[in-house]
Amino acid sequence: MKQFVSVHDLPDLGQALTEARAFKQNPLLAAQAGAGKRVGLIFFNPSLRTRLSTQIAARNLGMDSIVLNAGQEGWQMEFADGAVMNGQSVEHIIDAAGVMGQYFDILCVRTFPTLNDKVVDYGEQVISQFIRHSVVPVVSLESATLHPLQSFADTITISEQMPVGRKPKVVLTWAPHIKAIPHCVANSFAQWMNHWEAVDLTITHPEGYELDEQFTRGAHITHNQAEALEGADFVYVKNWSSYHQYGSILTDGNGWMLTEDSLRHAPEARIMHCLPVRREVELAGALLDSGRSLVQQQAGNRVWAAQTVFHNILKNIQA
Amino acid sequence: MKQFVSVHDLPDLGQALTEARAFKQNPLLAAQAGAGKRVGLIFFNPSLRTRLSTQIAARNLGMDSIVLNAGQEGWQMEFADGAVMNGQSVEHIIDAAGVMGQYFDILCVRTFPTLNDKVVDYGEQVISQFIRHSVVPVVSLESATLHPLQSFADTITISEQMPVGRKPKVVLTWAPHIKAIPHCVANSFAQWMNHWEAVDLTITHPEGYELDEQFTRGAHITHNQAEALEGADFVYVKNWSSYHQYGSILTDGNGWMLTEDSLRHAPEARIMHCLPVRREVELAGALLDSGRSLVQQQAGNRVWAAQTVFHNILKNIQA
Amino acid sequence: MKQFVSVHDLPDLGQALTEARAFKQNPLLAAQAGAGKRVGLIFFNPSLRTRLSTQIAARNLGMDSIVLNAGQEGWQMEFADGAVMNGQSVEHIIDAAGVMGQYFDILCVRTFPTLNDKVVDYGEQVISQFIRHSVVPVVSLESATLHPLQSFADTITISEQMPVGRKPKVVLTWAPHIKAIPHCVANSFAQWMNHWEAVDLTITHPEGYELDEQFTRGAHITHNQAEALEGADFVYVKNWSSYHQYGSILTDGNGWMLTEDSLRHAPEARIMHCLPVRREVELAGALLDSGRSLVQQQAGNRVWAAQTVFHNILKNIQA
């Protein structure tokens, strides 16, 4: 594996799930696989789970890791080709990525979308430039449009709770929020579920919140949340802003917050969320604190997702 | 030891002092005690000594440590039970502490008081929530009302300089400052000295600066600084804001700054301060730079205090 | 070697270059030289290359390293002797450096000039206070007036590309910028080139941008950039503010940006810059992306410069 920015970089999802569960059983299964290797974690944005779980994953493989809070600790970066740099940005990604590629064997990058320039965001300008100019393997710690380590952890979590003898019904439901939120977790979850084939995916959201079809194609899509939730096995709760009216908030989402009552026709439903979650806005706190919740398992599985990804990249580096 | 948030968590202070001095003699005395264990250091507030000394203590025991500057690097947290999270805070402590408890074997937390909500502060809302929701052992790196690692280091420092054949006179004296300062160092020092029984504690401060009696009970308390300092062996200098007029500054403290002249009837007195100290406001710089000062020893002993605490917690984890 | 704040701290530059190239060949040549030692990296200012390369250098020698973002993570510091600390600064360097000297075997410090107080800056107040009060060896990660690790890396880079049988012509050329920039990279490069004796140094800049003579003495200095560049082997591009009209910008520097055309009489010239560089302001992006550019090699050599410096300091500590 030469990079990890979407599900398509994984050679075989089934095998990756098996490997992730093996690391969960025994975190030090490949404790020397990364010996003498160094991973750089570059954060343009805040992070808790990603920041911690990827450091832990690296060290479980014997890799050294160094965190750089770009912006706060480093220099403000320019991403536009040919820019005349007479403004705020101090260093061009061409130069910075080249340097970081010399210093590290693997580069991990966290970057958020602008939410006002669809072409820049959906062109994945930042992570693409890191890939182009650093030369070394790049791992997405969440990019403008996707969050593959989260989706991998989500897939591990579902795989641990599969019903016997049938495909589970997985529902991705839009939830209210107080501000405009990126599409990446929703895009990425849809992409992974559609790719996986072990589940049936339904997506529900208010009108106007249609996601980019390249990720949702194959899913059942409805504006009727009650219908979507009926008989659900897994309910992934997430807000996102509009894709077509790019980055806009179209409704206050009254009635879309998930509660125990929303699940009256889904007795088996388990609740998922990538965290951080706004309690009593996106989701009732009581649901999060109930036996239905898988959010802590998802967060825990972030370590094994990252460790599996690093392990596959290391195999490629050493080959 | 299952947690460390006050002197009462130490099973035996005398034995802890012995162990701390042993680590000071030989920092690598138990270099493998924490092998394969991981400590998370969560900072909600600035820190120099605590930040550095706890990382060093962890590594001296073979533990891996990861620092998280919560707020700057992570997400703003909500601590109120049942909060409707439609404001600034992005993640609830219930969710965050659960995740961090999965990632770490020991969690260390630094958090300051509000100084305007006595109930929240003296209820130790933040650190209590970490204890409740993380499941793993929690170590206070200074909480709203106490600073036990500092007080442990202070106690080690005094124990290294004990007069022969008599109980030393230890004085905690209020000092001027330019802003409202938490009570935690003063509360905690009083608590430890009263608990220790090897010393006699006198506390002196202007009227209105009485500390919470649960910590000071047993000490001699006076508003007359000159009387308090007479014959002192150890003088701990510290500002704090009012406890009863919660968080207020009641006086500019003219005359309370400690100088060489203040100690004319205390020829043996050694000076202590937790640092950072405002020179020429709390304390004359000349005193800090004189042979009377123990402040550098206190700071150095922070490492052995933390190492002893971690070591006792590790014994409990492994048992 | 007891400290590293300028070229004069190196016992023998030729030998240091040999050692640096040996580390470049085999980074783990002295993988145990720093075992059990700890280096503290104190940053008062942003940094990318320095931050990363010194951590890597320390670990290549088996040393533990801890980063402190002073100011952001710690307390605002006071550097003035005898200051009455009733303002913004919370901790005096006397106290902080004493503590950090206890915690670390080597202290590395990054600090920028004020650019408005020449006496403070050229007195190197900050790094001098660290040296005076910490007791342990201090390494400059860029100080108010010099950047010796950068210059060491620059010297390594030139030594790898030396023409056969003659001294190369090295040109340091002033370049435009949008704000007032420190002198340290220019001062330091001039100091190292003049000290080295293996090259001939020419410095070119607009009138009024004369650097401090203590660093430039021995170089050929001209206001005519075209004349300076003629036949150049190495062209170091860098902006700096005025030294004599301290910290001022005297010209917009029209015509001073380096382009391919500037080098029409220097067919062999290689381009150098310390990075970060403002493309299309200091230097044409096309030059940076061409085969003329050595900027990535310079950045890569930062690791071996730092590793050589640490290694020489460790020899002294252990002796």
Q: Are residues A230 and A105 in the same domain?
A: no
Q: Do B84 and A178 make contact, defined as CB atoms within 8 angstroms?
A: no
- For residue B74, the model assigns a pLDDT of 83
DSSP state at residue B152: H
Residue B125 placed within a domain: yes
Distance from C87 to chain B by nearest Cα, in Å? 8
| Candidate from C28, C46, C275 with C-beta closest to A73 | C46
**Rounded-to-integer distance, Cα C103 and Cα C66, Å:** 10
Q: Do C94 and B49 make contact, defined as CB atoms within 8 angstroms?
A: no
ipTM of the complex: 0.95
Could you report the per-residue pLDDT of C88-122, keeping only the tens digit for each? 999 999 999 999 999 999 999 999 999 999 999 99
User: Phi first, then psi: what are they for C109, rounded to 5°?
Assistant: -130, 130
Residue A157 placed within a domain: no
Q: Are residues A13 and A107 in the same domain?
A: yes
Closest CA to B59 of B316, B318, B311: B311
**Rounded-to-integer distance, Cα A238 and Cα A189, Å:** 10
Residue C90 placed within a domain: yes
Q: Do A85 and C279 make contact, defined as CB atoms within 8 angstroms?
A: yes
Share of chain C above pLDDT 70, in %: 100
Distance from B278 to chain C by nearest Cα, in Å? 5
Chain A partners within 8 Å of B96 (Cβ): 48, 275-276
Q: Are residues A64 and A131 in the same domain?
A: yes
Closest CA to A50 of A158, A176, A188: A188
In order along its 319 residues, chain B shows pLDDT tens digits of 999 999 999 999 999 999 999 999 999 999 999 999 999 999 998 889 999 999 999 999 999 999 999 877 888 899 999 999 999 999 999 999 999 999 999 999 999 999 999 999 999 999 999 999 999 999 999 999 999 999 999 999 999 999 999 999 999 999 999 999 999 999 999 999 999 999 999 999 999 999 999 999 999 999 999 999 999 999 999 999 999 999 999 998 999 999 999 999 999 999 999 999 999 999 999 999 999 999 999 999 999 999 999 999 999 887 5
CB contact burial C251-284 (16+ within 10 A = b; e otherwise): eebeebbbeeebbeebeebbbbbbbbbbbbbbbb
Beta bridge partners of B293: B271
Could you report the per-residue pLDDT of C14-71, keeping only the tens digit for each? 999 999 999 999 999 999 999 999 999 999 988 899 999 999 999 999 999 999 998 7
Q: Are residues C189 and C225 in the same domain?
A: yes
**Rounded-to-integer distance, Cα A275 and Cα C89, Å:** 38
- C-side interface with B, Cβ within 8 Å? 36, 38, 40, 64, 66, 68, 70, 72-75, 78, 82-87, 90-92, 94-96, 98-100, 102-103
Q: Are residues A124 and A19 in the same domain?
A: yes
Structural domain that includes position C108: 7-146+302-318
| Candidate from B49, B280, B285 with C-beta closest to C99 | B49
Q: Are residues A191 and A262 in the same domain?
A: yes
Six token digits for residue C125: 């107040």
The region that residue A109 occupies, defined by phi over 0 for left and psi between -120 and 50 for alpha, beta otherwise, is: beta
Q: Are residues A139 and A174 in the same domain?
A: no
Number of helices (H), then strands (E), in chain A: 11, 11
Residue B237, classed as helix, strand or coil, is: strand
Mutate to test the interface with B, among C95, C107, C108, C129 (most CBs of B within 10 A): C95
Residue C245 placed within a domain: yes
Query: Which segments of chain A have a pLDDT < 50?
Result: none
Q: How far is CA B146 from the centre of its chain?
A: 6
Q: Are residues B97 and B143 in the same domain?
A: yes
Residue C319 has pLDDT above 60, yes or no: no
Q: How far is CA A218 from the centre of its chain?
A: 20
Residue C152 placed within a domain: no
Q: Do C103 and B51 make contact, defined as CB atoms within 8 angstroms?
A: no
State the chains in contact with C (3 or more Cβ–Cβ pairs under 8 Å): A, B
Q: CATH number, domain at B206?
A: 3.40.50.1370
The amino acid at C164: V
Name C83's Cβ contacts closer than 8 Å, sequence gap at least 6.
Answer: B279, B280, C89, C92
Report the chain B residue with the minimal C-alpha distance to residue C94.
Answer: B289
What are the distances in angstroms from CA B76 to CA B73, B174, C238? 9, 34, 41
Report the chain C residue with the minimal C-alpha distance to residue B298.
Answer: C99
- For residue A319, the model assigns a pLDDT of 56
Residue C254, classed as helix, strand or coil, is: coil
Number of domains chain B contains: 2
Sheet strands (E) in chain C: 38-43, 64-69, 77-78, 91-92, 106-110, 138-140, 169-174, 200-204, 220-222, 234-238, 270-272
Residue B106, classed as helix, strand or coil, is: strand
| Candidate from A87, A94, A102 with C-beta closest to C300 | A102
Distance from C62 to chain A by nearest Cα, in Å? 12
Asked which of B80-89, C225-234, C242-251 is least confident by mean pLDDT, the reply is B80-89
Query: For chain C, first and last CA: distance in Å?
Result: 11
Q: Are residues B18 and B110 in the same domain?
A: yes
- Please answer whether residues C301 and C24 qualify as being in contact, where contact means their C-beta atoms are separated by less than 8 angstroms: yes
| Candidate from C43, C59, C275 with C-beta closest to A91 | C275
DSSP state at residue A7: G
DSSP state at residue C39: E
Chain B partners within 8 Å of A288 (Cβ): 94-95
Q: Are residues B206 and B272 in the same domain?
A: yes
Q: Are residues B123 and B166 in the same domain?
A: no
Q: Do C28 and A38 make contact, defined as CB atoms within 8 angstroms?
A: no
The region that residue A61 occupies, defined by phi over 0 for left and psi between -120 and 50 for alpha, beta otherwise, is: alpha
- Please answer whether residues B76 and B90 qualify as being in contact, where contact means their C-beta atoms are separated by less than 8 angstroms: yes
- For residue A64, the model assigns a pLDDT of 95
Sheet strands (E) in B209-308: 220-222, 234-238, 270-272
Residue C273 placed within a domain: yes
Q: Are residues C189 and C286 in the same domain?
A: yes
Sheet strands (E) in C138-287: 138-140, 169-174, 200-204, 220-222, 234-238, 270-272
Residue C153 placed within a domain: no
Place of tokens 């997400």: B75
- The DSSP result for B11-70, as a single string, is S-HHHHHHHHHHHHH-TTTTTTTTTT-EEEEEESS--SHHHHHHHHHHHHTT-EEEEEET
Place of tokens 């900027």: C295
- For residue A71, the model assigns a pLDDT of 75
| Candidate from A40, A86, A94 with C-beta closest to C178 | A86
**Rounded-to-integer distance, Cα A56 and Cα A37, Å:** 14
The amino acid at B225: Q
Mutate to test the interface with C, among B48, B157, B252 (most CBs of C within 10 A): B48
Strands C38-43 and C64-69: parallel
Q: Do B83 and A48 make contact, defined as CB atoms within 8 angstroms?
A: no
Residue C236 placed within a domain: yes
